[in-house]
Amino acid sequence: MLKIAVCLKRVPEMELRFSIAADRKSLDQGGLKYEISDFDGYALEVGLRLVEKEGAGEVVVLCVGPDGVQETIRKALAIGAARAVHLKADEVPFDGLAIAKALAAELKDGGYDLILFGRMATDTASGTVGPMTAELLDLPCVTALSHLEIANGRGTARRDLEGATETVEFPLPAVLTIDEGIARPRLASLKGIMAAKKKPLEVKPAQLGQVSLTVEAMAMPPERAGGRIIGEGSDAVPELVRLLRTEAKVL
Amino acid sequence: MGATFAFAESRDGNLRKVAFEAVTAARQAADASGGGEVHALIVGAPGIAARAAELGKYGADAVAVAEDAGLERYSPEVFAATSAERLRTGAYRAGFFAASAQGRDLAPRVAARLGVSLASDVTDFEIQGDAVLARHPAYTGKVIVTLRLVGAPALLSLRPGAVAAVEQPRVARVEAVAPAIAPGAARVVVTEVSQRSAAKLDLGEASVIVSGGRGLRAPENFKLVEDLAAAFGNAAVGATRAVTDDGWRPATDQIGQTGRVVSPNLYVALGISGAVQHLAGMRTAKTIVAINRDKDAPIFKVADYGIVGDLFEILPRLTEEIKKARASQ
Ligand SMILES: Cc1cc2nc3c(=O)[nH]c(=O)nc-3n(C[C@H](O)[C@H](O)[C@H](O)COP(=O)(O)OP(=O)(O)OC[C@H]3O[C@@H](n4cnc5c(N)ncnc54)[C@H](O)[C@@H]3O)c2cc1C
């Protein structure tokens, strides 16, 4: 029996054009489309495979956010999660600690063998919620895994550190954050989509607590003064080297 | 007056460049809050204490060193417990970590232990009264978010290369401390490490990165990329996901949204189209050079200097000219 929690975030599709709302501190919601954050999709896939291999158990999806996240939750249920908990909050704070507190409060007595996260959410790109949740629950934690095996109540994982690859071992229960490429995420089948409508989805208030990291402003990155083509073919090389030396001063 | 804290990352018995960047940032934050002391922490195997004085060069007033034979490699639990313990010893205004592979794992743990918030992967910050404002590229680098951190200590992890290390020499007091928990008590144990050649410069440390994309056409052609990197003297080699997915280069060389995020002084993109996911990993480089045969390739939009043409024709000449230019200095 493996009981696995997968914490998912709903994020805007990153391929779209973003613009900043009039308050200068949020995204213009018009035209945004949402999806499961990339790495979280890998975490879901890892959870499903582990339960399938074990032959017994379930994957439970947790998601913090407004009512709109239920669409994302249904997607995860359609892909294969057994049930879900929606931790309801009017908005998802940028503060990873607040989110971790809400998740930890729900996970604490859940009896999970593994709690999985993506390496980071693609919107806030912070990667803090997983390891913070682990600390709040006082559980062993390995981040940014590229390989994972579970056997006899222990896990073996591989993670890439700069310049080296580590193999680590840890006891269950544990918190893991998953890097991409570990397993190709499956798509929802039609049968899965139908079944998802009937799967249990529990709604509870998110106990975010105090938020001490907030968004002060959002802006588009300064346009790089880029776009300067200095020439064609190898004849442009001397000019490039001159500019690197005299203007960019990198030689 | 506010004292500040910096975690000084080390590897293989040496401090990393990001350690000097963290101390520099801590110095700036202390000066901006009325001139408090900067306290740094080094955790490592016996012998690392000999490096502590180097942090004084960048403005550290005191360096605590936790040495243990079991700490040759990063142990998340020991490093986090020891950092949290040091941060509890003083009334710190702010604490700085590197947003390196190690720091991205360490900093959130420390923050949760202390019950304070963390701004991650910060490119720039300022102290504003009781708050710290931190800038962080989010949404695959398409949006720059300014975050307001209240409470103390405000913790920040800094994007490698974003805050340049600046020398502000002083003599640092060095103090030996015990790791907050015994390395043998850690629940997560490293059982194997496959090291890449030590000679290879890490992407996070390099001031120049030369990257190749699918335009290189075959793995053996990366020799051209390596030759150019060697000509710069201090360059590391990166790659796009198209290249790492095909196994032409190791996955650890991948730059972008799902790979490494870098901020070198110079980024040279060779045969790279400039997909948003790649740009997310390198658009904060100070200078960007692109060589691509397609004049409409999106990489040219962010390039300070672009050359349109066949890289197989251009690269050998560029490598020669860079060598010549560096020899004549
Ligand atoms: C969720 C997701 C995450 C991703 N994460 C990343 C990531 O982290 N990093 C990343 O890099 N990509 C990432 N990608 C992939 C990304 O979208 C692009 O597919 C990839 O960056 C393209 O790599 P490339 O530029 O090498 O190849 P291509 O897009 O095929 O470009 C090759 C370029 O080489 C040029 N060229 C060809 N021959 C020559 C020649 N002889 N001389 C000069 N120029 C030549 C061509 O004009 C072309 O512009 C991600 C994609 C997704 C969907």
pLDDT at A128: 98
**Helices marked H in A168-234:** 190-196
With respect to residue B197, please indicate whether it lies within any of the assigned structural domains: no
Q: Where are the beta strands (DSSP E) in chain A?
A: 2-8, 10-12, 34-36, 57-65, 83-88, 114-118, 141-151, 154-161, 164-171, 174-178, 201-205, 213-219, 229-232
A166/B192 Cβ within 8 A: yes
Give me the domain span that covers residue B219: 208-327
Same domain, B174 and B233: no
Tell me the chain A residues in contact with residue B148 when contact means C-beta distances shorter than 8 Å: 213-216
pLDDT in the model for residue B197: 55
* pLDDT above 90 coverage of chain B, percent: 87
Does the pLDDT at position B273 exceed 90? yes
Distance CA A77, CA A72 (A): 9
Mutation site for A-interface testing, chosen from B147, B201, B208, B293 by largest number of A Cβ within 10 Å: B147
- pLDDT at residue number B114: 98
pLDDT of residue A164: 79
Q: What is the pLDDT of residues B150-203, one digit of tens each?
A: 999 999 999 998 999 999 999 999 999 999 999 999 999 999 988 765 557 788
| Ligand 1 site, residue B258, Cβ cutoff 6 A | yes
CATH number at residue B82: 3.40.50.620
Complete DSSP assignment for B62-78:
EEEEEE-GGGSS--HHH
How far lies B60's CA from each of A111, B10, B26, B111, in Å?
Answer: 45, 16, 8, 22
**Could you state, in order of their start, the residue ranges of all structural domains in chain A?**
2-205
Instruction: Say yes or no: B239 and B303 in one domain.
Output: yes
Domain count, chain B: 2
| B193 domain residue, yes or no | no
DSSP A74: H
Q: What average pLDDT score do residues B297-309 get?
A: 96
B153 and B16 inside one domain: yes
Q: Cβ neighbours of residue B229 under 8 Å, at least 6 residues apart? A: B208, B210, B235, B236, B237
pLDDT given at position A181: 75
Among residues B9, B12, B8, which one has the least CA distance to residue B198?
B12
Give the pLDDT score at B132: 97
Residue (of A113, A199, A119, A183) closest to A153 by Cα position? A113
Residue identifier of the C-alpha nearest atom 51 of ligand 1: B277
Question: How much is the pLDDT for B198?
Answer: 53
* pLDDT > 60? residue B319: yes
Measured by CA distance, the residue closest to atom 47 of ligand 1 is B294
How near does any CA of chain A get to the CA of B154, in Å?
9
Q: For residue B323, what pLDDT band results from cuts at 50, 70 and 90?
A: very high
Same domain? For B136 and B246 the reply is no
Check whether residue B90 and residue B232 sit in a common domain: no
Q: Do A248 and B329 touch (CB under 8 A)?
A: no
- A5's enclosing H/E stretch is strand A2-8
What is the greatest pairwise CA distance in chain B? 60
Identify whether residues B246 and B298 lie together within a single domain: yes
Give the DSSP per-residue string, B116-157. Answer: --EEEEESEEEEETTEEEEEEEETTTTEEEEEEE-SSSEEEE
Q: Name the strand (E) or helix (H) holding A155.
A: strand A154-161
pTM of the full predicted structure? 0.90
No. of helices (H) and no. of strands (E), chain A? 6, 13
- Is there a single domain that holds both residue B214 and residue B181? no
Query: Is residue B83 domain-resident?
Result: yes
Residue A99: φ, ψ to 5°: -65, -45
Q: For residue B326, name the pLDDT band (cuts at 50, 70, 90).
A: very high
CA A70 centroid distance within chain:
17
Q: How far is A118 from chain B (nearest CA, A)?
A: 11
Say if B198 falls within a structural domain: no
B115 and B28 within one domain: yes
- Taking residue A216's Cβ as centre, other Cβ atoms within 10 Å add up to 18
Residue A215 to residue B136, Cβ atoms within 8 A: no
**Is A122 in contact with A10 (CB distance < 8 Å)?**
no
pLDDT band at B237 (very low <50, low <70, confident <90, very high): very high
B168 and B45: one domain? yes
Tokens of A130: 């997983």
Q: Which of B203, B216, B273 to mutate to test the pocket of ligand 1 (most atoms within 8 A of CB)?
A: B273
Question: Starting from the edge strand earliest in sequence, which strands make up the sheet with B118-122, in order?
Answer: B118-122, B154-158, B92-98, B3-7, B38-44, B62-67, B173-177
Asked whether residue B48 carries a pLDDT value surpassing 60, the answer given is yes
Supply the CATH number for residue B246's domain: 3.40.50.1220
Residue B195 lies in a domain: no
**Helices A237-246, B311-327: inter-axial angle, 10-degree rounding:** 40
Residue B258: what pLDDT? 86
**B153 Cβ closer than 6 Å to some ligand 1 atom:** no
CB A82 within 8 A of CB A60: yes
Q: Which residue has the tokens 């144990």?
A: B189
Q: Is the pLDDT of residue B239 over 90?
A: yes
Answer yes or no: is B190 within a domain. no
**Helix, strand, coil shares of chain A as percentages rounded to 5?**
25, 35, 40
User: pLDDT in tens for each of the 251 residues of chain A?
Assistant: 999 999 999 999 988 889 999 999 999 999 899 999 999 999 999 999 999 999 999 999 999 999 999 999 999 999 999 999 999 999 999 999 999 999 999 999 999 999 999 999 999 999 999 999 999 999 999 999 999 999 999 999 999 877 778 999 999 999 999 998 788 899 999 999 999 999 999 999 999 989 999 999 999 988 777 789 999 999 999 999 999 999 999 98
Q: What confidence score (pLDDT) does residue B194 get?
A: 84
**Architecture label for domain A2-205:** 3-Layer(aba) Sandwich (3.40)
Q: How many helices (H) and strands (E) does chain B have?
A: 9, 18
pLDDT score of A165: 86
DSSP-based three-state secondary structure for B32: helix
- Tell me if residue A129 falls in helix, strand or coil: helix
